[in-house]
Structure 1
Amino acid sequence: MPDRAVLIPLDLDPAAPPPGSAVHTFDGATMGTTWSARVAAGAVAGLHGALQAELDAIVAQMSHWDPDSLLSRYNRAPAGTWVDLPAQFFDVMDYALSAREASGGACDPALGALVGLWGFGPARRYDHAGFYAPDAAAIARAQAQRAAARVELDRTRRRLSQPGGAVLDLSCVAKGYAVDRLALCLESRGLRHYVVEVGGELRGGGVKPDGQPWWVEIEAVPDGAAPQAVVALHGLSVATSGDYRQYFTQDRRRVSHTLDPRTGRPIANGVASVTVLAPTCMAADALSTALTVLGPVDGLAFAARHALAARFLVRRAGELDEIHTPAWKALLQ
């Protein structure tokens, strides 16, 4: 593949699919986007329904668009309430709160009020007539409310506190978790050669029937022209956070949907996208957001400390500057 960087995981499992395997393809809709799975196996009867059921359960629990989801009901719960969490919701909150602490608050699952204020939630959308960006006073009020309504996860009893006014939005982690659930659904059935995807975030395992890995192209920034790297998704997940997915223009500046929880405002650090490779897609999803918020200096330092394989694309003087972490470079072939 000329003119392209190629990334291959350092640990390879030589096991091949069973003899006579073929690639079976499944797809559908979820979370306002699409999902797909390609599986190298023999017979796979009933698999589509099982995969869709995994995703439907996550939507029923964690959708901020569905007013009847558990997340929406939590957001409306009275102050002083403790909400019991099913296993999936608990796992996501447990990881999201840990990521918040590890990143110094660069990602926060309780950012829902600010997401709505900036027009990126289910109501009062930035792309609808009559929308206007919040002023400094509104941002300050939302930040003060979020600080006062800090949630607590009871890990022993698997429940989450609603101190009053806490508004969850799990957009930076739930899609990656959904990818992981598809992978675990397959592996629980003894299917270990696959690539699964939700909205462009992917996880792969094993190889295709011909012994080739599952090659995927790293997501590009629309205004970038360089050929994109390809990665062998062999025991790896990949997720990208970018400023080009949802944004509006204000005073000739791009206002991204990625918010900095520390300031209550959209990022303004020049980062166009961050791609992260990790063992789980939930980690890749959350970390790509955290690194985007931390920016090209603090984000690279954080990634180096934690040995994260990440690629930053930074807008500078009308060009895209591509920066790689040492762990990313170690995968290059």
Structure 2
Amino acid sequence: MGTTWSVRFHARARMDLHALHDAVQARLDRVVAQMSTWEPDSDISRFNRADADTWFPLPDDFTAVLAAALDIAARSDGAFDPTVSPLVAAWGFGAHADARERPTDMALAQARARVGWEQLSFDPGAHRVFQRGGVTLDLSAIAKGYGVDLVASLLRQRGIESALVEVGGELYGYGHKTDGQPWRVLVESSPDEEADSEGLEPRVLRLEGVAVATSGDRWHAYEHDGTRYSHTIDPRTGVPVHDVAAAVTVVAETAMHADAWATALTVMGIDAGLAHASKLGLAARFLERTPEGLVERTTAAFERHLDT
């Protein structure tokens, strides 16, 4: 996934840590083997180049993630779309990126014609998806979170009653530490900008059987001809998001859902995203850029997870 992972936990004495490490790595390798667009032999890469008018068989993990992705696509009114890959590439991002410049109108139109989650034929019961021709899936905004959930599940299966799992900044915590306290984590955001924002205090979350993920434009963006382009592409318009928050953080029961919703709310923009999150009862925090510096806006559900 092009990132690191770590696990902190409390376990019985004499546990074979080398075996546990290998088991964790194997779970994450499984996600990469199925859902990495950077790996030419992964299941998702093979689907993306499969023959037209064919059903493609999916392994269990891939099926579960695609089902969740399509559910969130529907609930976000298309702000999250697992078929967005052609647009991401057209704007110069992702595994198959074109030049980092504004695409021509023709290239953009061709990319948009291949995007649309509602056009995807998916049969979760039979673990298969239909390749109608030219469909390219990208689960980068949800698969990493699923990897976190897989690791947490593994730890529970091994009898570990308290752990904090982190993959590329996305976290899931459960149980309590030896002092009886829950796992506490600092909300990831935009540190360089926060340092210049008076009155914006660090936020600490309690992770008691929940996950947290953050999305924003400081990680992947570029400038061309004086215009800044974010890697967050709105599938509904075909262009990078303009009203992008400095950071959007979501707390959810699974890292998979936190991961995907952080992206979806970023795509919606600050006002629409905050309204949508409040409507659905999502725990979300937005950092808005203003002339006076960063301003925090949160939903009521997010406030309940803060360590006060």
Shorter chain as normaliser: what TM range? over 0.9
Letter in 2 for 1:218: V
Q: Given the two structures, how large is their TM-score scaled by the length of structure 1?
A: 0.86
Asked if 1 retains the 8 angstrom alpha-carbon contact of 2:206 and 2:305, the reply is no
Letter in 2 for 1:258: T
Q: 1:330: which partner in 2?
A: 304
% identity of equivalent residues: 48
Q: Give the CA RMSD over aligned residues.
A: 1.6
Equivalent residue for 1:243, pick from 187, 199, 217: 217
**Of 136-145 and 74-83, the range deviating more from structure 2:** 136-145
Q: Give CA deviations for 1:292-319 in whole Å, capped at 9, x if unaligned.
A: 1111221111111111111001112262
Q: Give CA deviations for 1:163-188 in whole Å, capped at 9, x if unaligned.
A: 11011111110010000001001111
Following superposition of structure 1 onto structure 2, how do residues 148-163 of structure 1 map, counting pairs within 5 Å? Answer: 150-163=119-132
Equivalent residue for 2:254, pick from 280, 290, 293: 280
Q: 1:219: which partner in 2?
A: 188
Larger fraction in helix: 2
Deviation (angstroms), 1:322:
0.9
Q: 1:44: which partner in 2?
A: 15
Q: Give CA deviations for 1:91-115 in whole Å, capped at 9, x if unaligned.
A: 0000001100110000111111111
Following superposition of structure 1 onto structure 2, how do residues 225-236 of structure 1 map, counting pairs within 5 Å? Answer: 225=195, 226-236=200-210
The reply to whether residue 111 of structure 1 matches residue 81 of structure 2 is no
Q: 2:170: which partner in 1?
A: 201
Unaligned runs of 5+ in 1: 1-30
Letter in 1 for 2:300: P
Distance 1:167 1:149, change over 3 A: farther
Q: Give CA deviations for 1:62-90 in whole Å, capped at 9, x if unaligned.
A: 00001111110000001111111111000
Distance 1:212 1:117, change over 3 A: same
Unaligned runs of 5+ in 2: none
The reply to whether residue 170 of structure 1 matches residue 139 of structure 2 is yes
Runs of 4+ with deviation above 4 angstroms: none
Q: 1:33: which partner in 2?
A: 3
Q: 1:321: which partner in 2?
A: 295
The reply to whether residue 264 of structure 1 matches residue 238 of structure 2 is yes
Letter in 1 for 2:7: A
- Inter-partner Cα distance in structure 2 for 1:150 and 1:314: 34
State the number of aligned residues.
299
Asked if 2 retains the 8 angstrom alpha-carbon contact of 1:216 and 1:233, the reply is yes
**Of 314-323 and 161-170, the range deviating more from structure 2:** 314-323
- Inter-partner Cα distance in structure 2 for 1:147 and 1:313: 29
